[in-house]
Structure 1
Amino acid sequence: MPAPWNRSESACPTRTTRQINSDSYSETSPRPHGELPDRRIRRLLQRQRPGAGGPGTVPAEVLDLRSGPLRQAKIPDERAFATKGDLAKAIIMRALASPLPIAWVTADSAYGQEWRLRRMLEEASVGYVLAVPKSQHVHAVGRIDFAIAQAPEDAWERHSCGAGAKGPRAYDWAAARLPAIDDFDGDKPTHDRWVLARHSLARPDEIAYYLAYAPAGTPVAELVRIAGARWAVEEAFQAAKNECGLDQYEVRRYPGWYRHITLAMLAHAFLAAMAAAAGTERGAAETVPTPSHRSPWRKSGDSWQLATPRRRTCGTPATH
């Protein structure tokens, strides 16, 4: 089957169907190894307990999920359990409601694999570059690692995704636009969806994968820059741990933990502002050579297009 990496200004729209499977919970008295406490509670609520109150009845103190350890830890009643995806959506919605100019969102694969988060950003017309696992399914092309594996050598271009401690962070990147989705994009899409991949110059076998959503005409270099912006957040957390003891708390109650985290982040913000005012400079550039190589492929436009196979009644599939 021919590789689907072709240059084209047109996209083949396709329809997608998504299905989300939710976990079902049951409960027994002993806690299985490695199981989370909230699952134990849900299983306990589904357990048949004949006797006190009849079949399927559980004590009132079990029904009150705020009793016991949660009450002793003084966790506020309004603090309910939320997944990482739910927390991210709440943070983003709060940011969009503020007067801040929010144009892009970037995150690691724990958030990038949440299709609800991606769809929420698309409906808000907010661009994103989100890391995803290599097994991520992409509409019209299947697994993202299989699609990237078919990219020709000349699809990989060298870009810097920002300044690091030793100079520019240079990687080889491959990027391709995806076909539009009729149900979401309409007849005249204003944004493009992309697949991206990067590998290190020293370790080309280690590949990271991304999904992106960007206004039409966005260059690949801008997508790379957004992807690299996430590392600044990770560096900030690591610096807060090293310099301000962000993770060095020994508390058993929510108020003490909240105060420690707040003060540690405030101290880190003060140090960061002082360092910026002092004009702290980055280290010397990396010594990794970055030779430029000319591609034998003739470019049509400024980006690659990932086309979908076109069915034929006989013969081998063709790409367009």
Structure 2
Amino acid sequence: MTTKDLQRSLPLFRDFLDRFTPHLVVDKRTESRKDRAEAYLRGLLLDAESTKTSESIALKVHGDASQVRMTQVFLGQSAWADEPLRGELISWVDAEIGADDGILIVDESGFPKCGDQSVGVARQYCGATGKIDHCQTGVFLAYASATDHTLLDERLYLPEDWATDAKRREEAGVPEGVVFRTKPELALELIRTVGPKVRHGWVTFDEGYGKDPAFLSGLEELDERYIGEVPKSFRGWLKRPDVEEPKSGPKGRPRRKARVKAGEPKPQTAEEIATALPASAWKRLRFREGTKGTQQAYFARIRIVVERDDLPGPEMWLVMERSCDQSPYVKYYISNAAVDGPLLEMVQAGHHRWPVEDCFLRGKQEVGMDDYEVRGWRGWHHHMTLVMMALWFLVLQKRRLGEKIQHGHDAA
């Protein structure tokens, strides 16, 4: 966004800030927070290709080197609460673009970092570099409807060696109540917190979350309808096997848990199930119009009893996708959709992860999502909250100017 663009949108920008101001300014002593937030948001929004550190933002917006330290303090040390701002954002998103068939999308994003002092930094898989790298990882929740899409909330992943290191926690300002949680646990917490506040009909995710039984059962407990990718090793039965309950063994000691009865079929992998399907089970479906044309593939689905802790769990849909390429790939999805749920609707929901990828792309290319230099817990969450606000402002600006969303955008 250029300075001219922002000037043209100044009334909208001021109304936008007014919506969040009550959560920033709580008394006379905190009145300056509004000006600081406005300046930081301006810095994030202006000049998409420029680097957007606290220093560069202060110099760009204020033109005064004396403001650099104040900007750094506002972002990394000032005690304003970021959760109420995200709560206001969620409420606004629901009112503006919310729909009963909206989709909550879980995904994570990596932020490469040097050194070992940035909170949560560790050698782990980093999507930004496509390899194991020194980075921080955030788990994010995006929202998409037929109208538009944006980010709603986030959680910083704190590796276990960080969570149990009292010295590092203190230096980074990690709150006492924060304990180690896996990425699927953080994702489930996001859905539990945000889900009741925004209209939606689906939750979707990649196989990093789909392979976690506790994540899937947690969604079921929340009564969320979902479809998400699972690995080819995901297992289930085509027919529910008989189970025998614990009973005393030959020496009088009872088994601790139930087990599948001897002689019952073993669970099959998703790959094995797909391989055994007849050709007639596969249907060619056109499921999305994208910038590269109509996207289509072959799909099949079958009801299976999923394996949970070596025992039969709930009955669900296993959806299989085979590409139309000469060397086809196969993807697998699991869904708790209704028995009579339309296949095309399931396929479209399962393929609707591109909006979160688009949010990450625009966040990093346009509003400085990965340009931060703060090291502490508070600064990371402050920055990400302001980035999500900036992304939402761009959505609102686009809507007010009457620009049409590219529903089939192919995000990198």
Question: What is the CA distance between 1:211 and its match in structure 2?
Answer: 0.8
User: Which residue of structure 2 aligns with residue 165 of structure 1?
Assistant: 291
User: Which residue of structure 1 aligns with residue 373 of structure 2?
Assistant: 250
User: Which residue of structure 2 aligns with residue 13 of structure 1?
Assistant: none
Question: What is the CA distance between 1:131 and its match in structure 2?
Answer: 0.5
Q: Percent identity?
A: 27
Find out whether 1:279 has 2:377 as its counterpart: no
CA offset digits 1:34-78 (Å, max 9, x no partner): 699966689xxxxxxxxxxxxxxxxxxxxxx45322211122222
- 1:95 and 1:247 map into 2 onto residues whose CA distance is 24
Q: What pairs up with 1:90-169 in 2 under 5 angstroms?
A: 90-96=189-195, 98-140=196-238, 141-169=267-295
- 1:137 and 1:234 map into 2 onto residues whose CA distance is 28
> Structure 2 counterpart of 1:154, which letter?
S
| Shift in alpha-carbon separation, 1:81–1:203, aligned structure 2, 3 A | farther
User: Which residue of structure 2 aligns with residue 56 of structure 1?
Assistant: none
CA offset digits 1:273-304 (Å, max 9, x no partner): 32344333549999xxxxxxxxxxxxxxxxxx
Question: What is the CA distance between 1:139 and its match in structure 2?
Answer: 3.4
Question: What is the CA distance between 1:195 and its match in structure 2?
Answer: 0.8
User: Which of structure 1's runs of 4+ aligned residues deviate more than 4 A?
Assistant: 33-42, 179-185, 283-286
- 2:169 and 2:204 map into 1 onto residues whose CA distance is 33
User: Which residue of structure 2 aligns with residue 232 of structure 1?
Assistant: 355
- State the TM-score, normalizing by the size of structure 1: 0.61
Alignment check: 8 A CA contact 1:172 1:199 kept: yes
Alignment check: 8 A CA contact 2:229 2:332 kept: yes
Question: What is the CA distance between 1:227 and its match in structure 2?
Answer: 0.2
Question: What is the CA distance between 1:86 and its match in structure 2?
Answer: 0.8
Bigger share in strand: 2
- 1:252 and 1:148 map into 2 onto residues whose CA distance is 47
- Give the total of aligned pairs: 225
CA offset digits 1:180-212 (Å, max 9, x no partner): 999766xxxxxx611112233236432211111
User: Which residue of structure 2 aligns with residue 69 of structure 1?
Assistant: 168
Counterpart selection for 2:338 from 202, 212, 215: 215
Deviates more, 1:237-246 or 1:166-175: 166-175
| Shift in alpha-carbon separation, 1:285–1:201, aligned structure 2, 3 A | farther
Alignment check: 8 A CA contact 1:95 1:102 kept: no
| Shift in alpha-carbon separation, 1:269–1:285, aligned structure 2, 3 A | closer
- 2:305 and 2:281 map into 1 onto residues whose CA distance is 18
- 2:404 and 2:371 map into 1 onto residues whose CA distance is 27
- 1:254 and 1:228 map into 2 onto residues whose CA distance is 33
Question: What is the CA distance between 1:145 and its match in structure 2?
Answer: 0.8
Counterpart selection for 1:85 from 184, 209, 233: 184
Alignment check: 8 A CA contact 2:289 2:408 kept: no
Bigger share in helix: 2
Alignment check: 8 A CA contact 2:363 2:391 kept: yes
Question: What is the CA distance between 1:144 and its match in structure 2?
Answer: 0.5
- State the TM-score, normalizing by the size of structure 2: 0.48
- 1:264 and 1:285 map into 2 onto residues whose CA distance is 21
- Alignment gaps of 5+ in structure 2: 1-121, 125-133, 135-157, 239-266
Question: What is the CA distance between 1:244 and its match in structure 2?
Answer: 1.3
Which structure is higher in RCO with an 8 Å CA cutoff and minimum separation 6? 1
Alignment check: 8 A CA contact 2:203 2:227 kept: yes
Q: Aligned-residue CA RMSD in angstroms?
A: 3.4
| Shift in alpha-carbon separation, 1:160–1:240, aligned structure 2, 3 A | farther
- 1:128 and 1:283 map into 2 onto residues whose CA distance is 21
